Structure 1
Amino acid sequence: MNKNLPEVRFKYFKDEYERKKLNQVVEKLKSYPLSRDVETSELTGFKYIHYGDIHRGKSTLIVDEFVLPSIKKGDYMPLQKGDIVIADASEDYQGIATPALLLTEPKQSIIAGLHTIALRVDEQYSPIYLYYLLTSPIFKKYGYKAGTGMKVFGISYSSLVKFESLYPSKKEQDKIGNLLKQLDDTIALQHRLIDQQQKYKKAMLQKMFPKKGERVPKIRFEGYKEEWESKALEDIVVNIGTGKSKYTIHNKSSESPYEILGSTSILGYDTNFDYEGDFILTARVGANAGTLYSHSGKVKITDNTVYIQNDNLDFIYYALDNIDLRKLSFGTGQPLIKASELKALKILTPVETLEQGKIGAFFKQLDNTISLHLKKLEDYKQLKKALLQRMFV
């Protein structure tokens, strides 16, 4: 493999890459030690990029300058389209030299603020390419070595611009940068879709389950008109119980076909089990007390968990998901939820099991949709990670 070329490259580009230090690619601009006390709610026509906003993701690929804080007017040297602002301080090495890029020409005066290094990219190079180069593993590795500090880590301009990398032609740089930008846009869209679906689910949980003191939900399936009934959970489900203290938590193996689950081991659940009936697990001990988890398969559980078994499990799951089960816990450092407390818990339920089933199926389908979007989001993130590793040298 040619070490002067990346592992992945667009077709039709055949030229060798050129090795350059960063100081051959950029020039330093003035930044100002402006802290939060210069911020104002007034529209002054002046905004700034604070290193804290870069770390929080508020200032990264900046296309809408209105997301930036307004500051008091002053005699500043403003930034322009294509300028890169780097956070020169971080609480960990992973955040060293995190960049922000002005993608559009600002309509207001944008200033580089506290703990930042401002750079203007030479016209022979692509700002969008350089931005992604500064987020790539090869630069992060360099930043880790060049960074200094104990509790707060930093990088100086002189250390930063010694970073050496290989650059293709500007045309190829633009193509690489725009591909990664398009991928970032797709990731942002996935985040919005997930957020919308989660908000929709939350709203529907509130509308399809009656509030305290009510017997009829605001929204229900056509053909059902009877008031819901208030029943103790033990009168609705098949069984409620607690796991056994004799079990030791472990994964399924050839010697034991049963995975053993406890309150700290069910933060996520794996569907790759031999299916043998459904039940719900709710954490009984610790900070996760009252958190519900669904599981299907051959498993046994420790006394740190409470299980609920039922034929119409989905409705019960979402009915409980709409209740703050932490109110049933007692204790401080290690709050407990007992099976006996769950048994006596009063919940509202439709008279007809068919309506229960429809409600449960509706929310399960919503969760499946959210899971699908989450899977796509993770796939896009992994693709971006792979491209950052393989398109920069």
Structure 2
Amino acid sequence: MAKQGAKGAMPRLRFPEFRNAPEWENAILGDLSEVVRGGSPRPIDGFLTNTADGLNWLKIGDVDKEAKYVTHTAEKVRPEALSKTRVVNPGDLILSNSMSFGRPYILQIKTCIHDGWIAITGIAQRAGRDFLYYSISAPSSQNYFVDNAAGSGVQNLNADIIKALPVYFPSRPEQQKIADCLTSLDEVIAAQARKVEALKTHKRGLMQQLFPREGETRPRLRFPEFRDAPEWITRSLGELMVIGSSRRVHESDWVTTGVPFYRARELVAIGKGEPINPLFISEALYAEFSRLTGEIDEGQLLVTGVGSIGIPYLVKSGDRFYFKDGNIIWLKNGQVDLSGDFLFRLFESEYVQGQIATMAGIGTVGTYTIENAKRTIASFPVDKREQQRIADCLSFLDVQITAESRQFAAFKTHKQGLMQQLFPSPEDVAA
């Protein structure tokens, strides 16, 4: 904490060699750099080009919101666009005035930027570029943007708001130490992200081989013990099981305690292991509706019919909840022909997801209905041991993906906590 009357600020965490160093200086971003808005020639389509003399044209969609650097653009503009736009150079910082709100990026290319970008150029010698990047990314700066953004609906930033951002900075050696520490952590986070994506890509590729392509009766990859097994068979799901939904639950039926009641959004979140704030219906209403429709049972499948369409949830032992009619399709799988685990994986496959996409795209508003589900074609091996072998293999991969994803999230959380300590927050700033 900074002492009363001091002019600077002190972070809560300093590296050992700087613990006795002076307090950090303070300034506003406009004192340390030039903050300017991009520009857009109109109409932009008239300036786009594929010719060799074209200039890079950076759009919001060209930048991965989790990235640190801007490395490419998808389009170019003719040199005549320079009278209407602005050029920024490698080493400059940019941030969007609306999308990825207040999130800075470091340019590694020379490019023109449209008026959705704000550039931070001409950075003063007393503030290192990488340090400034992390300072703007720090929670205190991001909170400043949220608190001061313009607009009552969609909030946005302008150059004046960004110029006025308070910036606290130590000596250049300490700045570099902080930037190096956070850069190393970013590299660890990026490597972990690549690991997660590689596992997901491997799973997608494996599923393409473990399930037959449309019109085929054998997958391209079978486990050794099933290579001489019979061809897979195809049936519509309506032939294999009863498919329906729940009874109508009105908003007036919701209560504060009782039996959990899930809509599509809650079911998707639960499937991902994300927290939810469940709604409830009374025990009496649940009992009444269960007499009419039955209760969910282990091995049955619930599939979202609206919103994020076609997301499956496998009912597990001990599950007890009710769900929104129409929004969620109920596949009352008796596990006579299909094991529950295999049916779940079947709904993850490109074969079934492609059918869902086609069916849902027929109407003006995409939906996956009970009738769609009945017409959905399932391709499967007769031997349930093969079904389970496939499901177990993919479940093992999911466990790995979940573990690595949690590690990725833990690294990001650690970085946020570290930045809160490495950069002064408002309560650390002296009066």
TM-score band, normalised by shorter chain: 0.7 to 0.9
User: Is residue 413 of structure 2 the alignment partner of residue 382 of structure 1?
Assistant: yes
- Counterpart amino acid of residue 52 in structure 1: I
- Counterpart amino acid of residue 392 in structure 2: A
Q: What corresponds to 1:367 in structure 2?
A: 398
Of structures 1 and 2, the one scoring higher in RCO (CA 8 A, sep 6+) is 2
Q: The residue matched to 1:266 in structure 2 has which SS?
A: helix
1:158-173 pair list within 5 angstroms: 159-173=161-175
User: Is residue 379 of structure 2 the alignment partner of residue 348 of structure 1?
Assistant: yes
- Counterpart amino acid of residue 98 in structure 2: E
Q: The residue matched to 1:281 in structure 2 has which SS?
A: strand
Q: Percent identity?
A: 18
Q: What corresponds to 2:114 in structure 1?
A: 114
Q: The residue matched to 2:300 in structure 1 has which SS?
A: strand
Contact 1:282/1:291, CA 8 A, preserved across alignment:
yes
Contact 1:281/1:293, CA 8 A, preserved across alignment:
yes
Q: 2:303 aligns with which of 273, 282, 293?
A: 282
User: Is residue 342 of structure 2 the alignment partner of residue 301 of structure 1?
Assistant: no
Larger mean Cα displacement after TM superposition, 72-81 or 320-329: 72-81
Counterpart CA distance in 1 for 2:36 and 2:269 is 48
- Counterpart amino acid of residue 113 in structure 1: I
Which structure shows the higher helix fraction?
Answer: 2
Q: What corresponds to 2:224 in structure 1?
A: 222
Counterpart CA distance in 1 for 2:75 and 2:67 is 10
Q: 1:155 aligns with which of 158, 177, 190?
A: 158
Counterpart CA distance in 2 for 1:32 and 1:229 is 59
User: Is residue 51 of structure 2 the alignment partner of residue 42 of structure 1?
Assistant: yes
Contact 1:84/1:118, CA 8 A, preserved across alignment:
yes
Q: The residue matched to 1:5 in structure 2 has which SS?
A: coil
User: Is residue 134 of structure 2 the alignment partner of residue 132 of structure 1?
Assistant: yes
Q: The residue matched to 2:270 in structure 1 has which SS?
A: coil
Counterpart CA distance in 2 for 1:194 and 1:68 is 26
Contact 2:298/2:315, CA 8 A, preserved across alignment:
no
Counterpart CA distance in 2 for 1:343 and 1:153 is 47
Q: 1:208 aligns with which of 193, 201, 210?
A: 210
Deviation per CA, 1:334-370: give whole Å up to 9, x if none: 84632x7646754222132111111111122222222
Q: TM-score, normalised by structure 1?
A: 0.76
Q: How many residue pairs end up in the alignment?
A: 371
Distance 1:361 1:171, change over 3 A: same
Counterpart CA distance in 1 for 2:90 and 2:203 is 40
Q: What corresponds to 1:17 in structure 2?
A: 23
Counterpart CA distance in 2 for 1:320 and 1:236 is 15
- Counterpart amino acid of residue 313 in structure 1: G
Counterpart CA distance in 1 for 2:406 and 2:163 is 38
Q: The residue matched to 2:105 in structure 1 has which SS?
A: strand
Distance 1:59 1:40, change over 3 A: farther
Larger mean Cα displacement after TM superposition, 216-225 or 321-330: 321-330
Larger mean Cα displacement after TM superposition, 210-219 or 145-154: 145-154
Q: What corresponds to 1:265 in structure 2?
A: 266
Deviation at 1:139, TM superposition (A): 2.0
1:23-102 pair list within 5 angstroms: 26-28=32-34, 33=39, 35=41, 36=44, 38-44=47-53, 46-47=55-56, 50=58, 52=60, 57=65, 60-62=68-70, 64=71, 66-67=72-73, 70-73=76-79, 82-87=91-96, 90-91=97-98, 95-96=101-102, 98-102=103-107
Deviation per CA, 1:361-386: give whole Å up to 9, x if none: 11222222222233223222322332
Q: What corresponds to 1:187 in structure 2?
A: 189
Q: What corresponds to 2:348 in structure 1?
A: 321
Distance 1:45 1:11, change over 3 A: farther
Q: CA RMSD in A?
A: 4.0
Counterpart CA distance in 2 for 1:189 and 1:283 is 33
Deviation per CA, 1:57-93: give whole Å up to 9, x if none: 498524x4x4575454589997665433444xx237x
Q: What corresponds to 2:11 in structure 1?
A: 6
Q: The residue matched to 1:269 in structure 2 has which SS?
A: helix
- Counterpart amino acid of residue 294 in structure 1: L
Counterpart CA distance in 2 for 1:79 and 1:298 is 56
- Counterpart amino acid of residue 269 in structure 1: I
